[in-house]
């Protein structure tokens, strides 16, 4: 039963971060004939997952290095924030493949370059359990291939899902920071300082994301008003 919580967290993280994968796959395979697009999606995704699995297992082992929990946690805090204020321009450099091989290669390379968020999040949520990493990433294959596009649609209809996902990432990042052995004397083991710190991280990330989105919305409205005049 102690696997259930971390495993569900890993699956939810995969769902939240699968949007980028869906966009990369769609862009890379868009110029292929219809009968080749499905092959590009399947083989490109399997290749990307294989690289991601190796990278995640490597990160899990490296987390024993002093201060790496802290560094990974801080980076994941930034990723949790960026999830709320994503820019559309992040996929402008993804070129469509003209052949099946080039499309698969594009999917694998682009996913490897963009997959640091997923690797860090899954490694942090696994708490060093290799089998949780493997099972979580195996489950993520059908999620990426078939479920990510559907999930994007759900997020468009229910934007609050994005905030839940960001909160889960923020919690995972805070958990990584508090599990840093060099900070053990400061946070203790599951006491009030640790829970208070995790709550503060989640609130700050969500608050900063909401504030940024409000500023962007106000800026866009002012721009439309100037154009209308």
Those residues of the chain that have pLDDT short of 70 are: 1-2, 18-27, 30, 86-98, 110-115, 117, 140-141, 143-153, 188-190, 229
For residue range 62-75, list pLDDT tens digits in order: 777 788 778 888 88
Q: Return the DSSP state at 81.
A: H
- List the structure tokens of 94: 């993804």
Contact 84, 206 (CB under 8 A): yes
Query: What's the pLDDT score for residue 1?
Result: 55
Task: Assess contact for 91 and 107: CB atoms under 8 A.
Answer: no
Q: How many other C-beta atoms lie within 10 A of the C-beta of residue 54?
A: 13
pLDDT digits over 134-181, tens only? 887 777 667 666 655 566 567 778 888 888 888 888 888 888 888 888
Total number of domains in the chain:
1
In which domain, by residue range, is 192 found?
4-228
């Amino acid at each position: 039963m102690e696997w259930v919580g971390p495993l569900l967290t890993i699956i939810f993280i995969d769902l939240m971060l699968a949007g980028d994968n869906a966009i990369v796959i769609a862009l890379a395979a868009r110029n292929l004939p219809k009968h080749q697009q499905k092959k590009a999606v399947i083989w490109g995704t399997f290749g990307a997952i294989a690289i991601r699995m190796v990278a995640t297992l490597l990160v899990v082992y490296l987390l024993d290095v002093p201060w790496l929990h802290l560094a990974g946690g801080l980076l994941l805090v930034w990723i949790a924030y960026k999830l709320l204020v994503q820019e559309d321009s992040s996929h402008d450099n993804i070129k469509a493949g003209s052949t099946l091989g080039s499309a698969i290669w594009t999917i694998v390379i682009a996913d490897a370059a963009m997959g640091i968020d997923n690797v860090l999040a899954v490694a942090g949520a696994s708490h060093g359990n290799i089998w949780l990493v493997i099972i979580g990433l195996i489950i993520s294959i059908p999620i990426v291939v078939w479920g990510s596009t559907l999930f994007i649609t759900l997020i468009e209809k229910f934007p609050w899902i994005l905030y839940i996902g960001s909160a889960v990432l923020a919690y995972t990042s805070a958990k990584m920071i508090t599990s840093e052995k060099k900070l053990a004397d400061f946070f203790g083991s599951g006491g009030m300082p640790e829970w208070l710190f995790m709550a503060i991280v989640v609130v700050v990330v969500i608050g900063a994301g909401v504030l940024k989105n409000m500023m962007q919305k106000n800026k866009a409205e002012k721009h439309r008003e100037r154009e209308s005049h």
